[in-house]
Structure 1
Amino acid sequence: MNTSIKRVRIMILGDSGVGKTSLVNLIAHNEPLKSPSWTIGCSIEVKLHEYKEGTRDQNTYFIEMWDIGGSNNHRNERHVFYNPCHGIILVHDFTNKKSEEHLNEWLQELVSREGNNTSLTSITSFDEFDTENYLGSNQIPILVVGTKVDQASERKPSNRTFASQIGADEILLDSRQSRYLAAGTSNAVKLSRFFDRVIDYSCRSHERYTNSLSSPIYSSKFVIPHQD
């Protein structure tokens, strides 16, 4: 792997069984996963992405997708994977409303961990999520993905989705069908736009960190007092 290419890290979060691993495989390899398995701890897939493709600012980045296991048995340990984090993909099963409601808990779990750099604070309900404060230009990008739409003919789209409540884009798909993320589709455009926002956020975070090192509290010399 070419280590000179810059990389960003995205957390893939959601309940067990919603299809996170199948989704990540589809994004990374443009093909369905033949034999999905349960993720224990974390698995990582990497995708090359052309940032601002077609413009003079175009550049190649590695997108690291950290697929976090959804089992409650590992809830107290999985926070070790959460930092650094430059973007979040929240995954729910479109046929299971509870899995969508639990996205709030997943978001809280990530942002409430001491030492994270997501610039978000704890949220207790959809209604308390302040879009302007939490998802402004300087905040971490979030994408919501609903899977298994092929099984959801009985459920009608709702205006009160988690994605709409937090002002995030949402993709609905069947991870077993590559056509849902085919080039030129609205889903593919949303995903590419999300990756660009993640890279923008990573660059701003790095710039803020660099500026903090040049502030007087960091740049002043440390002098050891002379002792006779």
Structure 2
Amino acid sequence: MAYYQRRELELQQFEEEVRTVRILILGDPGVGKTSLTNLLANSEITPTRSSRTVADSEWTVQARLHEYPRVHLPHTPEWMSTSSSHRSAQSPLTPEELYFVEFYDKNDSVTYGRVDRNPLYKNIDGIILVYNMQDMRSHDHLHDWLYGPLREISECRQNKRKRKRMLSRLNVPILVVGTMLDKLRKRSLRRSGNIAYQLGSEEIFINCHDQNSLSEMGRNYGKVRNFLNRAVEFRK
């Protein structure tokens, strides 16, 4: 009995030590937000959707662990002149910080748009904008989906007298995702009018039903990981 109590205390301590980053998923109904969230939240320790999902009438939340790298590079002449083996001993990578990442997907049955105000938005650390590449209207609607949450985050995080321009790369981290890549025959080139270009954000194009779309050796995986790292930094 003492063993199980100790394990329960250890688990509770772990949950208290691991901080949480909250990511908001935005886009028109039917663009693949749920499939994308399934892909993003899938991991070795949460391989099934039931093992990582909490839902209510308004939100579906999926969670996974993210390792945020911390690198320590001492700025000393000795470090510059020592051998590689000694350098590794003197300047190791510090342990990675663990974070829970919670992906918040608002249920399609709940309507909201440009004037949407929700207390949850004040605690959001990153936003993923999702559109269907077969229907560029869903891309154009992203401005409306973004307006309410971004205004809430801006008012919460910034001094009102020194408020930055809302569509700024210095604001909350944003990742743009184009879905239905497997069904797209021809991609429309609209770089100057692309919301990712306007926001200075990264953009990826994927087939949400292909697990290899976010394989660790792929470019998409690197962009998602960089986005999550920036969300951690925004939270800090």
TM-score (norm 1): 0.72
Q: Which residue of 1 aligns with 2:107?
A: 69
Contact 1:48 1:62 (C-alpha < 8 Å) held by counterparts:
yes
Q: Which residue of 2 aligns with 1:224?
A: none
Contact kept, 8 Å, 1:22 with 1:32, in 2: the verdict is no
Structure 1 pair 178–90 and aligned structure 2 pair: CA distance change class (3 A): same
1:43 shift after superposition: 0.5
Aligned counterparts of 2:155 and 2:123: Cα–Cα separation in 1: 7
Give the whole-Å Cα distance in 2 for the aligned partners of 1:106 and 1:187: 23
User: Could you tell me which of 41, 53, 59 is aligned with 1:42?
Assistant: 59
**Mapping 1:116-131, distance limit 5 Å:** 117=156, 119=158
What is the Cα-based RMSD across aligned positions, in Å? Answer: 2.9
For residues 185 and 174 of structure 2, the distance between their equivalents in structure 1, rounded to whole angstroms, comes to 26
Which of 163, 188, 195 is 2:196 aligned to?
Answer: 163
Query: What residue number does 1:91 align with?
Result: 130
Q: Does 1:3 align with 2:16?
A: yes
Which runs of structure 2 are paired with 1:134-153 in the superposition (5 Å)? 134-136=168-170, 139-153=171-185
Q: Which of the pair has more CA radius of gyration?
A: 2
| C-alpha distance 40-144 of structure 1, shift in aligned 2 (>3 A) | farther
Instruction: Calculate percent identity across the aligned residue pairs.
Output: 30
Unaligned runs of 5+ in 1: 34-38, 122-128, 204-228
Following superposition, the deviation at residue 165 of structure 1 comes to 1.5
1:107 partner SS: helix
Structure 2 residue ranges without an equivalent (≥5): 1-10, 50-55, 72-92
Q: Does 2:115 correspond to 1:60?
A: no
2:27 to 14, 37, 40: 14
Distance 1:106 1:84, change over 3 A: same
Q: Relative to 1, partners in 2 of residues 1:67 and 1:189: Cα closer, same or farther, differing over 3 Å?
A: same
Residue 62 of structure 2 aligns with an amino acid whose one-letter code is E
Is the CA contact (8 Å cut-off) linking 2:18 and 2:98 kept in structure 1? Answer: yes
Q: Is the 8 A contact 1:9 1:66 kept in 2?
A: yes
The Cα shift of 1:20 comes to 0.6
Question: Following the alignment from structure 1 to structure 2, what is the Cα–Cα distance between the partners of residues 143 and 114?
Answer: 16
Give the Å deviation of 1:32.
Answer: 9.9
Pick closer, same or farther for the CA change 1:107–1:77 going to 2, 3 Å: closer
Deviates further, 79-88 or 20-29:
79-88
2: CA distance between counterparts of 1:79 and 1:198? 20
* Residue number among 22, 36, 43 corresponding to 1:23 in the alignment: 36
Q: What is the alpha-carbon distance in structure 2 between the residues aligned to residue 153 and residue 69 of structure 1?
A: 30
1:176 is aligned with what amino acid?
H
Taking the aligned partners of 2:153 and 2:176, their CA distance within structure 1 comes to 24
Q: Distance in 1 between matches of 2:172 and 2:200?
A: 12
TM-score (norm 2): 0.69
* Number of corresponding residues: 187
Q: State the alpha-carbon separation in 2 of the partners of residues 201 and 169 from structure 1.
A: 16
Q: Does 1:192 align with 2:225?
A: yes
8 Å contact 1:51–1:61 — kept in the other structure?
Answer: yes
2:3 corresponding residue in structure 1: none
In structure 1, what is the Cα distance between the partners aligned to 2:25 and 2:42? 16
Could you say which residue in structure 1 is the equivalent of 2:145? 106
Please list the CA deviations of residues 132-185 of structure 1 after superposition, one character each: whole Å capped at 9, or x if unmatched: xx212xx21010011111111133343232111211000110100011101110
SS in 2 for 1:26: helix
CA deviation string 1:33-82 (max 9, x = no partner): 8xxxxx95211001111102774262111111111234563557772432
